[in-house]
C-alpha cells in the first residue's frame, strides 16, 4: 500500500463531535423488530481498517470475504480471500455474493468496475481521523446497527479526549515520526517520515507533540543530514511487523545513535496496528502520548 494515499488533509479536534453526521447515519436504517440488526447480510471488505470496523461492530459473521492483508482480528484470517488491496479478483468478489462491498476512497477505479457489475458499494475516507470516525457510523447505518456504531465512535472519541486532558498545557516536543520501515531494515540513509496535513500528523498533535518536519511534503524521505536539520526532541519509529516477528526494538533505537550529533529520545512502537487507520487508532494515539509525554501518568 502506498503510504501517501492514506492521508490528505488535517482535521481539528472540535470536528470530532460530528453530531449532524451522527444523526444522518442513525436515521439511515433502523434496527429490525426485536432488536435484530437489519441491513447488509453478506459483506466483502477490501481494506484491513474496514474489516476491523466490521468485526468491532460484532458483525464478523456477516463477512463473506476479505483481502489477503486483512489479518486482524484473528477470525478474519479464516475468511475467504478475494486478492489484494488494489488488485482484487472481480470473479472472487462476485462469487462471494455480497450485498455490500466496503472500500476506501483511493480504490475508486475498483469501485467503478464493481458498479458495472451491479454490486452495491460503500466508500470510506480513512485519510483523516474524522474520516475513520465517520466511516464507523456509515457502516453501522448500512448494516442496520447505528446505535452500536454510535457507541463505538463515542468510545474512541472518549479516549481521544482523555489523551487531550492528560497532555493539556504541557510543552509540545518536536517529534519526528518514522513510517514504513520494516523488520530487517538496517539503513538510516533514507528515512520516510510523517509529513504535513494528514492522519499521522493529526495523531501526533492529539498526543501532545508537534511535527518536527516543517516542509510541505506528505511523506518526505530524509537523509541523516535532513534528520539533524529537523532537530527532533523525540523520534518515534513505527515498525508494524516488529512484535509479530519477535524482534528486539533495542537495536532499532541504537541505530539512531550512529548519526553524529543526534540528540533526540527514540521510541519504537512495533505493534501491527500502527499502520491501520481503524478502530485501533486509539491504541496508537495512547502509545504516541506515552512516548511524547512519559512524565504523564497513563493507564
Query: 66 near 76, Cβ under 8 Å?
Result: yes
DSSP 144-190: T-HHHHHHHHHHHHHHHHHHHHHHTTS---EEEEEES--TT----SS
Query: 219 near 148, Cβ under 8 Å?
Result: no
| Rounded (5°) CA angle 161-162-166 | 120
Distance (Å, whole) CA 280 – CA 227:
29
Instruction: Provide the grid cell at 101.
Output: 462491498
Q: Among candidates 169, 165, 242, 164, which has minimal Cα distance to 204?
A: 164
45-67 as b/e, with b when 16 or more CB fall inside 10 Å?
A: bbbbbbbbbbbbbebbebbbbbb
- What does the pLDDT read at residue 105? 94
- What does the pLDDT read at residue 152? 98
- What does the pLDDT read at residue 184? 55
Q: What is the DSSP letter of 107?
A: G
- What does the pLDDT read at residue 196? 83
Sign (positive/negative) of CA torsion 11, 15, 17, 22? negative
Q: What parts of the chain have a pLDDT lower than 50?
A: 1-37
The CB-based long-range contact list for 11-17 (8 Å cut-off, 24+ gap) reads 11/128, 11/129, 11/130, 11/131, 11/202, 13/160, 13/164, 13/206, 15/130, 16/129, 16/130, 16/133, 16/157, 16/160, 17/157
Q: What is the CB neighbour count within 10 angstroms for residue 198?
A: 23
Instruction: Provide the grid cell at 44.
Output: 466483502
The residue ranges of every structural domain in the chain are 14-164, 170-292
Same fold, 14-164 and 170-292: yes
Q: What is the CB neighbour count within 10 angstroms for residue 107?
A: 22
CATH label, 170-292, candidates 3.30.390.30, 3.50.50.60, 3.40.50.1980, 3.40.50.720: 3.40.50.1980
The topology (CATH level 3) of 14-164 is Rossmann fold (3.40.50)
Instruction: Provide the grid cell at 132.
Output: 475513520
Beta bridge partners of 101: 44, 121
Amino acid at each position: 500500500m502506498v503510504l501517501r494515499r492514506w492521508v490528505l488533509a488535517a482535521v481539528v479536534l472540535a470536528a470530532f463531535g460530528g453530531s449532524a453526521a451522527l444523526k444522518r447515519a442513525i436515521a439511515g436504517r433502523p434496527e429490525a423488530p426485536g432488536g435484530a440488526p437489519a441491513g447488509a447480510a453478506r459483506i466483502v471488505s477490501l481494506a484491513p481498517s474496514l474489516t476491523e470496523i466490521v468485526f468491532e461492530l460484532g458483525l464478523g459473521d456477516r463477512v463473506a470475504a476479505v483481502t489477503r492483508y486483512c489479518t486482524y482480528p484473528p477470525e478474519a484470517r479464516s475468511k475467504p480471500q478475494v486478492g489484494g488491496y488494489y488488485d482484487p479478483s472481480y470473479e472472487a468478489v462476485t462469487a462471494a455474493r455480497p450485498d455490500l462491498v466496503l472500500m476506501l476512497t483511493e480504490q475508486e477505479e475498483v469501485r467503478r468496475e464493481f458498479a458495472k457489475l451491479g454490486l452495491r458499494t460503500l466508500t470510506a475516507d480513512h485519510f483523516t481521523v474524522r474520516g475513520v470516525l465517520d466511516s464507523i457510523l456509515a457502516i453501522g447505518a448500512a448494516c442496520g446497527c447505528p446505535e452500536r456504531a454510535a457507541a463505538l465512535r463515542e468510545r474512541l472519541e472518549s479516549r481521544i479526549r482523555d489523551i487531550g486532558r492528560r497532555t493539556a498545557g504541557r510543552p509540545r516536543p518536536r517529534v519526528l515520526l518514522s513510517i514504513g520501515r520494516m523488520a530487517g531494515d538496517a539503513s538510516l540513509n533514507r528515512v520516510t517520515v510523517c509529513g504535513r496535513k494528514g492522519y499521522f500528523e493529526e495523531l501526533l498533535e492529539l498526543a501532545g507533540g508537534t511535527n518536527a518536519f516543517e516542509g510541505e511534503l506528505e511523506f518526505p524521505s530524509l537523509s541523516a543530514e535532513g534528520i539533524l536539520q529537523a532537530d527532533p526532541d523525540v523520534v518515534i519509529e513505527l515498525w508494524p511487523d516488529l512484535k509479530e516477528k519477535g524482534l528486539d526494538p533495542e537495536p532499532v533505537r541504537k541505530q539512531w545513535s550512529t548519526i553524529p550529533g543526534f540528540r533526540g529520545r527514540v521510541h519504537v512502537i512495533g505493534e501491527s496496528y500502527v499502520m491501520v487507520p481503524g478502530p485501533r487508532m486509539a491504541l496508537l494515539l495512547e502509545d504516541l502520548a506515552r512516548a511524547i509525554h512519559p512524565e504523564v501518568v497513563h493507564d
